[in-house]
Structures are given as C-alpha cells and as structure tokens.
Amino acid sequence: MPQDISDILGYSAAFLTTIAFAPQAYQSWKTRNLEGISLPMYSLFTTGVALWFFYGLTIHSMPVIIANAITLVLSAIVLALKIQQVLKKK
Amino acid sequence: MPQDISDILGYSAAFLTTIAFAPQAYQSWKTRNLEGISLPMYSLFTTGVALWFFYGLTIHSMPVIIANAITLVLSAIVLALKIQQVLKKK
C-alpha cells in the first residue's frame, strides 16, 4: 500500500472523528435535549481525549495535539450540558 | 518525558476512548431512547472510525486495528438504532 494512500486514510480518519462532535455539541447546546446521551460515555470519552492531548504533547505531535484539543472542547461541552441536566433532575 | 510514561498515557487514552462507547451502545440498546443523539455525529464518527481501522491495516498496527474494530462495532450499533428511530418517525 503506497504511503500517500495510507496518509490520506489517516488524515481523513482524524478529520472525521474530530469534527464528528461538532454537530452533537451544536444540537445539545441548541435543544438542551440530552435524554438519550450516556453520562458514563462522555465522562470516559472526555477523559480519554484529554489523555490523548497530553500524549500528543509528550510525543511532540501537532496533529495529535490539535485534533484532540478540538475534540476535547466539543465533548466537554456535551459532558457539561449532560451533568447540568442530571443535576437539575435531582 | 520518559518513554514509559508517554506509553502509559497513550494506552490509557486508547483504552478509554474505545470502551467509552460501550455504555452508550448499552443504554441506547436497552432504552431505545436516542432523542438527544445527533445522527450527523454518529454518521461522521462511524465513518471516521472505519477509516482508522483501514489505516491500521495499512500500517500493520494491531493496537489501531483492534481499538477501532471495537469502537466501530459499538458506534455502528448506536448509528443503526438512531437511523431506525429516524425512519420510524417518517
């Protein structure tokens, strides 16, 4: 498999899995409807993305740092809105 | 930064962002309540994870292959349930 095809796959994958959280953050912010969203998922995922961000710092990889910084902000928005919803119900 | 700490960060990040989708897939399967879940997010994310999986094959990296194979199955479950819900509403 030529290196350039492999690179295209990698960059496309990084792009999609990073921007994927934008429509969710936007929908959650606009509708404040987070009924079907799992709090454990966003807690684990946001923590994991934060670790990816620090991992990127330790290996000095800008793509890993930038992609995970963006995903961290987006998933943290959804996590915060979900925590807010759960606290309101108590 | 010693290599082993960097590796620990990387493996922990991979583990968390992979298993994170298990509670969401379980909750969506059990409750069939996918109200607050964004269809565009899961479409983009599942596609992106599939590309990561193929990328792992091209670079012969078992961790990338295994982690993304698991995430692909879990996010595809949520995507399928969300598509089912959207079609039911039409």
B41 touches chain A (CB under 8 A): yes
* Interface contact flag, B41 A21, Cβ < 8 Å: yes
Residues whose CB is less than 8 angstroms from the CB of residue A58 and which lie 6 or more positions away in sequence, other chains included: B1, B5, B6, B9
Q: What is the CATH number of the domain that holds B46?
A: 1.20.1280.290
* Interface contact flag, B48 A13, Cβ < 8 Å: yes
Q: How confident is the model at residue B4 (pLDDT cuts 50, 70, 90)?
A: confident
Identity of the residue in A9, A41, A51 whose CB atom sits nearest the CB atom of B24:
A41
* Interface contact flag, B44 A20, Cβ < 8 Å: yes
A34 touches chain B (CB under 8 A): yes
**Average confidence (pLDDT) over A12-23:** 95
Range of the domain at A51: 3-89
Q: How confident is the model at residue A1 (pLDDT cuts 50, 70, 90)?
A: low
- If one counts every other C-beta atom within 10 angstroms of the C-beta of residue A81, the result is 20
Q: How far is Cα A23 from Cα B34, in angstroms, rounded to an integer?
A: 15
Interface test with A, best of B24, B27, B65 (most A CBs within 10 A): B24
pLDDT at B69: 95
Percentage, residues of chain A above pLDDT 70: 98
Residues of chain A with Cβ-Cβ distance to B31 below 8 Å are 36
3-state SS, residue A34: coil
Tell me: the pLDDT tens digits for B8-58?
998 999 999 999 999 999 999 999 999 999 999 999 999 999 999 999 999
B40 touches chain A (CB under 8 A): yes
A78 touches chain B (CB under 8 A): no
* Total domain count, chain A: 1
Residue with tokens 């995430």: B71
